A = this chain, B = another copy of it.
Amino acid sequence: MIRHTVVFNLKHPAGSPAEAAFLADAKVLAMIPGVEKFEQLRQVSPKNDYAFGFSMEFADQAAYAGYNDHPNHVAFVRDRWETEVSKFLEIDYEPL
């Protein structure tokens, strides 16, 4: 199991329609084959300044690679992530 997470901030004002649209449209990622346990999260620790997180799991590296290369993921990164996200950090986990 690989858990892929990304914590991020949007360029949009908090509570704006553009923020809501980004989060709603990002659900297309959950439909990509191999994606399990897709979650949209609010980052709530005062010890960092990120606002949102996505988390998903893959059975193995092949499923993860299939997601990365999927046209819907490539298009979302190119058309939305790269233009609407101001700051992010990817963290991936495997069981120890």
Contacts and interface: CB of A to CB of B under 8 A. Distances in A.
Interface bin, chain A: 20 to 34
Given A41-B93, A45-B90, A48-B90, 10 more contacts: A3-B41, A39-B93, A40-B96, A42-B93, A42-B94, A43-B92, A45-B91, A53-B91, A53-B93, A55-B93
Given A2-B44, A44-B2, A50 B91 contact: yes
Number of this chain's copies in the complex? 2
A44 B96 contact: no
Interface string A50-92: 1011010000000000000000000000000000000001111
Interface of A: 2-4, 7, 23, 39-45, 47-48, 50, 52-53, 55, 89-96
